[in-house]
Amino acid sequence: MKRKGLMVLPFALWAIIFILVPLGLIAWYGITVEEPVAYTEITLEDGTPAFRLEDGTVQTQEPWQKKAVISFQNFKRMVEPTYLRLLIRSLKIALLTTLICLILGYPVALILTGKDFKHPTLWLMLIILPMWMNFLLRTYSWMSILENSGILNSWITALRNAVPAIDQWFTARGVGNKIIFLYNENAVILGMVYNYLSFMIMPIYTVIEKIDKSLLEAAADLGASPSKSFIRVTLPYSLPGVLEGITMVFVPAVTTFVISQLMGGGKVPLIGDIIQNQFGKSSDWHFGSSLSLLVMVVVLAFMGGLQQIDKDEEPQKEVRIF
């Protein structure tokens, strides 16, 4: 027993230093605010004005010290419409991203696991490969495609110049010379979908790939057409992968700030941007921490909800989904 206890030590240390302490710090910052230290003005024996701080120290400079006071005013501030609106927008964009990733990713995973599909590993590699490039680089390349003088716009212009009919079509719809793709919610969602799609495909692929092929044969044997056997066998069995994919996309999507800053150009601030601001420009670590705590609660609630579904759909349980 003792030896086993010793073996846990490195991990315990790791957990304490890199998980518990930072969490504790965030929690502490989150529930406190800074207040100026109280003081009284006094005159020293030689007649110079001075200040006596509340802890008894005396100094001649005007007091600059601050102290942390436990207060929930940051939480009150969070429910102000400005921040609530940001949170709701973040959730909306994250959910939309997750949904689009699911709609795009599930068929991809399904096709890749198809029995007649040649070289699935190669295709999987091609899907993952872009993820090995720097995240910023990937996002910047989207920007260079979509920006006003970007690749897409120059192609469209070339096309409009070449084919008058297309130009008329665009003009009839009131489209100017340049189409503005960037700096709106859609651009942010596009950036997120592009960056997180593989996180949806991978877990679903893994789960579908592991489904015992004889179960599909059994379903066909009992009279299930391919679509029915998908609904009755593949879908229920792939659910754990779907839930995992949802988590892997939703959690980073709800906390990101880089994509919204680049693709949104600061016009679509998300809760992550505000948090980043508090630790940067505004340098209000206390409010930043409170907001972080809020996001953590939201993510935890979301994952808790997902787990509930997972439990319900667990194959062991006698629950019929369809």
Partner 1 sequence: MENIILSIRNVKVVFEDGFTALGGVSLDIGQNEFVTLLGPSGCGKTTLLRCIGGFEKPTSGEILYKGQDIIPLPPYKRNINTVFQRYALFPHLNVAQNVSFGPDLRHEDKKETAKRVGEMLELVGLKGFEKRRISSLSGGQQQRVAIARALINSPDLLLLDEPLGALDLKLRREMQLELKRIQRESGITFIFVTHDQEEALTMSDRVAVMRAGEILQLGTPVDIYNEPESAFVADFIGASNILPSTMVRDKLVHFLGVDFPCVDTGFGENAPVDVVLRPEDVKLKPENDPAEGVPFGTVESLLFKGVHYEMKVRSGNDVLLVHSTHARPVGARVKLTVAPEDIQVMRKSDFSPDVRARKGEGGVQ
Side by side, which strands form the sheet with 49-53?
39-43, 49-53, 58-59
Closest CB to partner 1 among residues 77, 232: 232
Site for partner 1, rule CB under 8 A: 212, 214-215, 217-225, 228-229, 232-233, 236-237, 315-316, 318, 320
CB of 307 to partner 1, least distance (A): 18
Closest CB to partner 1 among residues 5, 223: 223
CB of 317 to partner 1, least distance (A): 8
Q: What is the 3-state secondary structure (H, E, C) of 4-64?
A: HHHHHHHHHHHHHHHHHHHHHHHHHHHCEEEEECCEEEEECCCCCEEEEECCCCEECCCCC
Closest CB to partner 1 among residues 222, 301: 222
CB of 234 to partner 1, least distance (A): 11
CB of 243 to partner 1, least distance (A): 15
Residues in CB range of 152: below 8 A, 6 or more apart: 145, 146, 179, 181
Closest CB to partner 1 among residues 219, 246: 219
Cβ neighbours, 10 Å, residue 104: 13
Closest CB to partner 1 among residues 54, 212: 212
Closest CB to partner 1 among residues 281, 320: 320
CB of 119 to partner 1, least distance (A): 15
Distance CA 56, CA 145 (A): 63
Nearest to 200 by CA among 263, 112, 278: 112
Residues in CB range of 224: below 8 A, 6 or more apart: 232, 233
CB of 205 to partner 1, least distance (A): 20
Dig out the tokens for 64 from the structure: 């600059």
Q: Whose structure tokens read 């409009």?
A: 160
